[in-house]
Amino acid sequence: MRVWRGDASGGDFVDYRVDAEEGEVVLDVLHRIQAQQANDLAIRWNCKAGKCGSCSAEVNGLPRLTCMTRMSTFEPGEDITVNPMRTFPIVKDLVTDVQFNYEMAKRVPPFRPQRRDPDGKYRLQQEDIERVQEFHKCIECFLCQDVCHVIRDHPENAEHFAGPRLFIRYAELEMHPLDTNDRSLLVQEKMGLGYCNITKCCTEVCPESIHITDNAIIPMKERVITKKYDPVTRLREKMRKRRLQLQAEGALPERTKLRRARALADTVRDGGSTGTGTD
């Protein structure tokens, strides 16, 4: 197995001859190298079950979880090359600095739920929650970020491009049946949704088979277009969110809320601006 060894200042591939046993995955072999030949070989891993998304690397050039890449998928004796994810700065060997993703996550406006039903419960239909659950499957392996050419080939974009992982985070919040926050214009204007030209590389490498492009990015782009270029929709949406927000904060008594909602709806029909009640 050829493993990239080195740090931020540079490095090269090192060849290790090592046996693989039945049923093993690439991470098993890396562990054997580490235990027997190179104690200081840096690998990031946790669950070894495809659930935590720590052991991402590039195996024969393909972004993979090393714990889910079986040795039996290679020919006996075939050279196997393992190098760190290329998009992120190297810490050491196969470990990269993925802090970028956590910084971008901090910038996501929080989930802000509607109020509960009068009996203290939320009622949601399974089919509505399933749309959100698809995105919640994300294990934050950051392989989609690694493969995305917007940052892989143009590191300068990283300042204003959140990347596919964060786009599904925005999508899951926007599509959550209880959420009242609006993030769609932020995604377009500050998070670089427009840079994505739908090559679907992210979808292809996702170990959780999340349809990142079709189910998250494209619907988000459509929302943005609707919001940005249709003034009536934009206004109505703003008012809806504002109303839900006030309701969530318990700021409006039920009757005022209804009256105000009706007044706003009338204004929208007239095509005028209310001047109040929107933000």
Partner 1 sequence: MAAYETHDFDVLVIGAGGAGLRAAIAAADAGARTGLVCKSLLGKAHTVMAEGGVAAALGNVYPEDNWKVHFRDTMRGGKLLNNYRMAQIHAQEAPDRVLELEEWGAAFDRTPDGLILQRDFGGHRYARLAHVGDRTGLEMIRTLQHQTVQRPVEVFMECTALRLLKDGDRVSGAFGYWRQSGAFVLFRAKSVVLATGGVGKIYTITSNSWEYTGDGHAMALRAGADLIDMEFIQLHPTGMVWPPSVRGLLVTEGVRGDGGVLRNKDGARFMFDYVPEMFRSDTAETEEEADRWYTDHANNRRPPELLPRDEVARAINSEVRQGRGSPHGGVFLDVATRLPAAVIKKRLPSMYHQFMELAEVDITKEPMEVGPTAHYIMGGVRVDADTAASTVPGLYAVGEVAGGMQGANRLGGNSLSDLLVFGRRAGEAAAEYAAGLGSDPPAVNEEHAEAFARWALEPFEREEGENPYEVHEDLREAMQTNVGLVRNEDDMKKALKEIMVLQERADRVAVRGSRVYNPGWHTALDLHSLLTVAEVVTLAAIERKESRGAQTRDDYPGPDPEFAKVNVVVRLLGKDLVVKQEPIPVMPEDLKELVEQ
Provide the binding-site residues for partner 1, judged by CB under 8 A. Answer: 7, 21-25, 28, 34-36, 39-54, 68, 70, 91-93, 95, 97-98, 102, 105-106, 108, 110-111, 113, 116, 120-126, 129, 132-133, 136-140, 173, 176, 178-179
* Nearest residue (CB) to partner 1, 209 versus 276: 209
- Listed in sequence order, the residues at least 6 apart from 188 whose beta carbon sits closer than 8 Å to its beta carbon are 194, 224, 228
Tokens representing residue 157 in the block: 């974009």
* Nearest residue (CB) to partner 1, 40 versus 279: 40
Question: Rounded to whole angstroms, how far apart are CA atoms 78 and 136?
Answer: 37
Question: Rounded to whole angstroms, how far apart are CA atoms 49 and 199?
Answer: 29
* Nearest residue (CB) to partner 1, 109 versus 194: 109
Cβ contact 16:30 at 8 Å:
no
* Nearest residue (CB) to partner 1, 125 versus 197: 125
Alpha-carbon distances of 228 from 149, 166, 176, rounded to whole Å:
26, 21, 21
Q: How far is the CB of 54 from partner 1 (least distance, A)?
A: 5
Question: Rounded to whole angstroms, how far apart are CA atoms 146 and 158?
Answer: 12
Q: In the chain, which ranges are E strands?
A: 2-7, 10-15, 56-59, 62-65, 81-83, 90-92, 95-96
Question: Rounded to whole angstroms, how far apart are CA atoms 144 and 172?
Answer: 16
State the CB neighbour count (10 A cutoff) for residue 226.
13
Q: How far is the CB of 94 from partner 1 (least distance, A)?
A: 10
Q: How far is the CB of 133 from partner 1 (least distance, A)?
A: 5
Q: How far is the CB of 49 from partner 1 (least distance, A)?
A: 5
Q: How far is the CB of 244 from partner 1 (least distance, A)?
A: 14
**Strand bridging mode 95-96 / 90-92:** antiparallel
* Nearest residue (CB) to partner 1, 44 versus 227: 44
Q: How far is the CB of 153 from partner 1 (least distance, A)?
A: 25
Q: How far is the CB of 124 from partner 1 (least distance, A)?
A: 5
* Nearest residue (CB) to partner 1, 38 versus 268: 38
Tokens representing residue 136 in the block: 């919640």
Cβ contact 85:96 at 8 Å:
yes
* Nearest residue (CB) to partner 1, 187 versus 235: 187
